Structure 1
């Protein structure tokens, strides 16, 4: 179980590195679908989950530590994810083949907010019992 905790602690850093690297490359570097409109829509929709995943990974990493996972720490995970989203948009603005936009940030923040709602409900509001039990096992 100890190795799983260390993996969960390292995953956010690995994921942030992957985001940084992929933001430095053209959007079609890895995958380009034949229909350019579908390709564009799918890649734009990924903003809804990209930083939500980071938030969830940060929550999981914080749950593996000894101290209690508090509402303030939960907010800190969400804020950190949002700030990393802002830094990612700033980073992309330096590449001619990438774009940075306020709308992308709104999508990033929306994904984080949805996950925040569920995590907060599961851990602090007595909602989403199954999710709460799963998160509790990480903390256990």
Structure 2
């Protein structure tokens, strides 16, 4: 599973460049008219946008892979630059649906006091479909 990234990195940079040109053109027009205080706020706005786009770039390659091989269920997840891997025994692992802090249904694999949340980037319907697919694999 991967998050949906509608813009490529080059597209994001181009969009940010376009926003920067428009913002600074408007800010310079106001500064020329005597409202020079608009310039620092335009710079602050662009700084926040650059930070937000860098966060998007950092998480664009995030993924979650669930593999079931023999008696092992493995979940490998990349968030930012950190990759984690969790392995469970297929016959002891339980699929659990619970409410998270935001009130959304969270899909979890649980075994021996360890728990891994699955499908964070999925919509509720896709998460339910994933739960059904995993139930089919665990019941076989």
Shorter-chain TM-score bucket reads 0.3 to 0.5
If the length of structure 2 is used for normalisation, what is the TM-score? 0.36
Between 1 and 2, higher relative CO (CA 8 Å, sep ≥ 6) is seen in 1
If you compute each CA radius of gyration, which structure gives the higher value, 1 or 2?
Answer: 2
Q: Which has the higher strand share?
A: 2
**TM-score normalised to structure 1 length:** 0.36
